[in-house]
Structure 1
Amino acid sequence: MTENPDAAIVARLRAAGCVFAEDEARLLAEAAETPEELDALVARRVAGEPLEPLLGFAEFCGLRIHVEPGVFVPRQRTAMLAEHAAALAEPGMPVLDLCCGAGAIGAVVAARVPGAELYAADIEPVAVRCAAINLPGAGVFQGDLFDPLPAALRGRLGVIAVNAPYVPTEAIALMPPEARLHEPAVALDGGADGLDIHRRVAAEAAHWLAPGGVLLIEASEEQAPVSAALFAAAGMAVRVESDDERGATLVRAERPR
């Protein structure tokens, strides 16, 4: 179906708190093939399911990233991380999208740096399935952080881009229900201070990076100095970069040459 949805659908979405009800109604109408399917999609959206898995894609850096129910939906602030990773990558360079979710960061690198040797890994099966669709030709692995990667990659990665979970455990209850009820907890929960995964990544990253290789990891503005200190303690040169317009902050850690 591609025709404009009727006013009743817009009203249902607006009553459910959808701020961009008209846009969402149009997108749902485009995604549905029959009136019955449209009604079912609208009902699921009104019940609180995230829009993107209902559509089957998320818009990210000009790309349509395939997403399914139960996968972490890429956030627009993560565009900063993706763009920085693509700017550092080169054709033939091994690049890793770690904690890849649907593979959105890797997809941006692949689109902007043809010939990059791309890898991705995540612990969630749904994420790995989506990433394999979004990253054709890449090496996509399921497992805990670096564990599933081929040993031959140790010391060879030119860029590691990480969007690890960094929400403090107690703060998850304050997240929008679209996230806390429909995305896997393992993709959100970063432990007591949100930096449990950062600590684990910092302990291993230098062993996987090539000399001069760079790791980029997203954090909150408040967490970034602590995260940076973790990578500095691991012998890496670090700095914090921010994008106020996007509300994005990342830590950049480089392995010495």
Structure 2
Amino acid sequence: MKTEPLDYLLSALAISLLALFSLAVTAMLSGGITALLLGDYGVLADALLFLLFYGVFSALACRGLVKRGLIRAGTFPMSDPVFRWWKLFTVIYEFGRGALLPFTTVFAKPLVAKMFGAGIGHDIALGGRLVDPQFVSIGDEAIVGQDSVITAHTITSGRIILDPVVIGARATVGVNVVIMSGVQVGEGAVLTAGAVVPPKTVIPAGELWGGVPARKIKALDSDA
């Protein structure tokens, strides 16, 4: 992946500004109150507040990049500004997601993904990882299994392809499944554990798929 000095500079600047802003807000809100109330544990409380604010501000920065149209779906050469902004988004997202890990219980994972721009339905179970949340949509009551990976980008032959991934309502993505860019999983479809779904694959509603690469096993409403 092509990386230039400007990419390092932008990433360092973004991380530094987010950290400084988070530190300032933490200091302003705590004002020694945490030390007064918690004694020696006040430092720990301040550290947690800093991580929380850093994660929240990172999410706002990521959503701002998308809202301004700096990152959008399509195929772009590595010289295109979209590629640079995508790299910056990814750095901010990874650091921000990491900062929120102390607060990210299994129940909070969908909320964190939504904060960073993912389309999240109601009552979903999210055990896996979203690499490009801004291009991922997960429907109501869907299940994304533990250690699965959903990525909406592909880098090949000097180009980056950003193609949204859609997981339909009540679909089930098994543990350790890999879903690549441009994949559509229909409502009620099931992917077995360890399946790898290549880019642009369309899985119809109500079908069972599995394997590497993933292929149809049968229709779930019949013995076919």
TM, length-normalised to structure 2: 0.28
**TM-score normalised according to structure 1 size:** 0.26
Q: Which has the higher contact order (CA 8 A, sep 6+)?
A: 1
